[in-house]
A and B are shown apart, each in its own frame.
Chain A
């Protein structure tokens, strides 16, 4: 299922000593994370998308050409985008309300704007702040105002440059739920720059992996997390993010049954109506493999699967990619095991296994974003 990419971008050039040559496409909906180590060029790509930096290349959003190879280049102020900077950068001489309305189209009557003032104020919890000066706000409040200000300019594309990295952990955890609500409530493509995998796992639908000014992979998050040729799968804290749908809730035990492609998981979570979307995170180290259906144990989640790929991490450990379902067509998990186990079990590509998952947690329930 591939949608027509709504965002197509390609930028080449040098800034000082730094060389950038990055291209990617992203869908019309959802959050695309630009992810990579500090200094890999993520922010430069975002600034190119916004037209704040002018390198050679192409930039198309929602069918509109913002930049092309023939020298066409739309200045930033003519691009219907919203940009959230690392520091909130509110205008200190304007009240919160006037900051929020700075980029809002000024017209009376006419069709209702798709993103309404009251809705944004409510979504971001800004009601009490409207008449205050930005000088008297906390870091988290400022960043929420900055996000609201960007949204109210009625963008077709929202660009966010590490919007949480200047905040302390508690404030991050205060803002993340707002970002999740935003993602779920607004049909607006978001390009989100971060170097924090935890933010990616929690927010992103797609990911563009960058390293040293180049794109080393891009696509849906689950696909890239389980691609053994990319650094995500072999990282020490490798994990997969699975989007599932609530099937049933077991309030007595505080568990929810979540359907994913090729199987279902029992997840400790507050009861939720059937059909709601939930994301779980499964760490590679929490998944072990067995050749035969194991006997009943304390492990709740045991799912039939097939080995798809394997990659050695070092001399004694490997990471195996398994696809759920007896036929191996479902969602993919990572399993970290010793090379000795891999060989003792006689595992190989296509082998049928049972994935025993020791821990499954809601991605949004994590309180340990560092």
Chain B
């Protein structure tokens, strides 16, 4: 690696930008959906709650192709996704950016719900009981006590959700179709560059993702350390 490195070809910026957009929108949606779900899982006494937790966790164990297959059907013209798409005159959500967002939310959900659920469970009953004895209504207790106390868990969930969305490959390929500029994200772009023997581009993207993954894992460890100290 002694030769002067020429500037990277412009084609790699499109998937990078698309990936960041996808991950940002998915993470935001995930936090909004996963926080109430995690709260319910942590506090409910419903007999079926662990069944719901298992369903939410399915994407962790299922092969991405299986998840992608069902998503493809669900997002397609004959599924609920097709019906939603018909609202604005389209035929399908498959092979669209919106479809990718939906797929990413579902496949990354367990990685976001789990740490938030654990954080809510660690808060325990007592702070909420104290809040109730101080006239705090349940919503006020949630926003002023539970949420701030569980914030390290939310941060962990957001980082994991973002990272997992960036790293998703199988589901994206199944429902996105790797369309340049629309659904070709970094992970699928690497696949494409390798197939067309463009090693330099593949190398740049792959190296970037290794650095990104390293940064994420380091961030996770640091958040956890801070959390442990705060709880002491």
Contacts and interface: CB of A to CB of B under 8 A. Distances in A.
B149 A153 contact: no
Contacts of B148: 93
Nearest to A52: B129
A103 B134 contact: yes
B133 A102 contact: no
Nearest to A84: B133
Interface string B133-145: 1111110010011
Interface of B: 126-127, 129-138, 141, 144-145, 148-149, 230
Contact of B130 (A51, A85, A93, A159): A85
Given A85-B130, A87-B126, 13 more contacts: A76-B133, A77-B136, A82-B133, A85-B129, A89-B126, A91-B145, A93-B148, A102-B134, A102-B144, A103-B133, A103-B134, A149-B134, A150-B133
Contacts of A81: 133
A61 B138 CA distance: 23
A79 B132 CA distance: 9
A153 B134 CA distance: 6
B41 to A, nearest CB: 22
B203 to A, nearest CB: 45
Nearest to B136: A77
A149 B136 CA distance: 13
B126 A76 contact: no
- Chain A CB within 10 Å — which of B132, B136, B145 has the most? B132
Interface in A135-174: 149-150, 153, 159
Interface in A40-90: 50-52, 75-78, 80-83, 85, 87, 89
Contacts of A93: 148-149
B127 A77 contact: no
A50 B133 contact: yes
Contacts of B130: 83, 85, 89, 91
B154 to A, nearest CB: 13
B149 A76 contact: no
Nearest to B130: A89
A92 interface: yes
Interface of A: 50-52, 75-78, 80-83, 85, 87, 89, 91-93, 102-103, 105, 149-150, 153, 159
Contact of B135 (A51, A77, A85, A92): A77
A159 B138 CA distance: 21
Nearest to B138: A77
A52 B129 CA distance: 7
A77 B132 contact: yes
Contacts of B135: 77-78, 80, 103, 105, 153
Contacts of A80: 135
A89 B136 contact: no
- Counting from the closest, the 10 A-B pairs by CB-CB distance are A103-B134, A83-B133, A76-B132, A77-B132, A93-B148, A89-B130, A153-B134, A89-B126, A102-B134, A103-B135
A77 B137 contact: yes
Contacts of A150: 133-134
- Chain B CB within 10 Å — which of A77, A80, A150 has the most? A77
Contacts of A87: 126
A196 B127 CA distance: 26
A83 B135 CA distance: 11
A102 B183 CA distance: 49
A312 B54 CA distance: 65
18 contacts: A50-B133, A76-B132, A76-B133, A77-B132, A77-B133, A77-B141, A81-B133, A82-B133, A83-B133, A89-B126, A92-B149, A93-B149, A102-B131, A102-B136, A103-B136, A149-B134, A153-B133, A159-B133
Nearest to B149: A93
A149 to B, nearest CB: 7
Nearest to A80: B135
Nearest to B229: A135
Contacts of A50: 133
Given A77-B137, A85-B126, A92-B230, A52 B132 contact: yes
Contacts of B149: 91-93
- Chain B CB within 10 Å — which of A89, A149, A150 has the most? A89
Nearest to A50: B133
A153 B137 CA distance: 14
A97 to B, nearest CB: 14
A357 to B, nearest CB: 43
Nearest to A152: B134
Contacts of A85: 126, 129-130
- Chain B CB within 10 Å — which of A52, A78, A87, A93 has the most? A93
A106 to B, nearest CB: 10
B132 A75 contact: yes
Nearest to B144: A102
Contacts of B134: 102-103, 149-150, 153
Nearest to A78: B135
A89 B130 CA distance: 7
Contacts of B145: 91
Nearest to B132: A76
Contacts of B131: 77, 102
Contacts of B132: 51-52, 75-77
A51 B132 CA distance: 10
Contacts of A82: 133
A50 B135 CA distance: 11
Contacts of A105: 135
